[in-house]
Amino acid sequence: MIKAKNKTGLVFFPAFDWAIDSTHPEREERLLYTQDQVFEEGILDIEGIVEYKAKLAKEEDIKRVHFCYPNVKSVATESHLISAGSAIEIGRAVLKKEIKKGFALVRPPGHHSMRVTYGCRGFCNINIEAIMIEHLRKHFNIKKVAIVDTDCHHGDGTQDIYWNDKDTLFISLHQDGRTLYPGSGFQDELGGINAIGKTINIPLPPGTSDEGYLFTIEEAVLPILQDFKPDLIINSAGQDNHYTDPITNMCFSAQGYAKLTSLLNPDIAVLEGGYSIEGALPYVNAGIILSMAGLDYSYVKEPSYNAKSIRQSEETFKQIKKICKQALTIWEKKESIQDELKKGKEFTVREKHINYDTDGIYERQTETLKVCKDCSGTFKIETAIEDRGVKNLLIHIPRDACPKCIEIAKEWQEKAPNIFDNVYFQDVSKI
């Protein structure tokens, strides 16, 4: 009998009752074909690969991460809560040492959902990875977390949530934002002034194949992770880099994904995008599962796979090497960059314009952050949907807040002008 080297837990949640529409790429068949493949290949019969049941996230899990307007129920359906809750369930199993590795194969996805959420953008309403991470931090002795987002689209929501968090390293490998939604994820996006360099973006050129992705992991991602020394590594495991994906322009294969997983060695993987429902997802997910379990994945190949036809060009490889070198330079110089940016500043202000492409909402934000040497810094977000006459204020106190930042946050709350419809106070340590 085959036995997994790493005891690996899986949780499936196809979300039968949630879809943007019946023909949309983000629909339940994304996981149904994968489930069929897993059952047909007997993967769940392997000793040491176990299935966990889907669970509901609690409202406090969502509020620990998000400000949902007007409330959680208006933004997140039961399917969203089960997707997030299932990620939490697999994360808890890892930290309770029931399993060595865990893979949440769930939808709806979440990495485009930011701290403030009014609805659906990029197929995402709530950020399931962030909700899982903050639950684990609340209930287990976890401080430093690294998130490696390998979805083809930049994880702008996860980046936004952890922009000011010095204990969270966010690395995103994605197709260059000049060529793909959401049009962000450039290398000058370094994180907030108290967390410079804890956001690392690696925008890869269209046509990047296995060689380029694996080079990036080995030459850029792994050295940064080794230096950061996280307590936990999370893979935001989008699969829309595949050469057959209908909405992207990359050339990654199932073998490439499995090798990437083996190199990255994440504690937990959470499914994100991937829209080649029959031609890619069953094979990619099977490869990832076997890789996490420490088993041979060499025979996992798509019927259409042809290495020569998807090979990247020499020019593409030159660009990738340059991008990886820049990522390492940013990491190595992050302290000096931070010191220079902090000079003479008490607060910083960040303006954002956010488009909820699915729901037709246009949001404007002004974020004011306290420059602080002792913690991640308290901040407030003035957020408005002008065509709907909505204006709200969110005040955030981070997990590691120092007494001075707590005092500033309370003062912001006490002196909040009456121009806001709502004033929300998000003290993470008390949720």
Q: How far apart are CA 123 and CA 108, in angstroms?
A: 7
Q: How far apart are CA 406 and CA 137, in angstroms?
A: 20
The secondary structure of residue 26, as a DSSP letter, is S
Q: How far apart are CA 88 and CA 134, in angstroms?
A: 9
Q: How far apart are CA 401 and CA 386, in angstroms?
A: 32
Q: Is 154 considered catalytic here? A: no
304 burial level (CB within 10 Å; 0-12, 13-18, 19+): middle
Compute the CA torsion angle 114, 115, 119, 122 (nearest 10 deg).
Answer: 10
Token pair 């400000």 is found at 67
Token pair 């004033």 is found at 423
User: Helices (DSSP H) in 265-355: which residue ranges?
Assistant: 281-292, 314-332, 334-342
Q: How far apart are CA 73 and CA 59, in angstroms?
A: 9
What order of strands is seen across the sheet that includes strand 390-397?
347-356, 361-370, 379-385, 390-397, 422-427
**What CA–CA distances, in Å, run from 52 to 8, 22, 49, 102?**
10, 28, 10, 10
The single residue of 66, 112, 154, 174 carrying the catalytic annotation is 112
Q: What are the structure tokens assigned to 71, written together? A: 């409330």
Residues labelled as active-site residues: 112
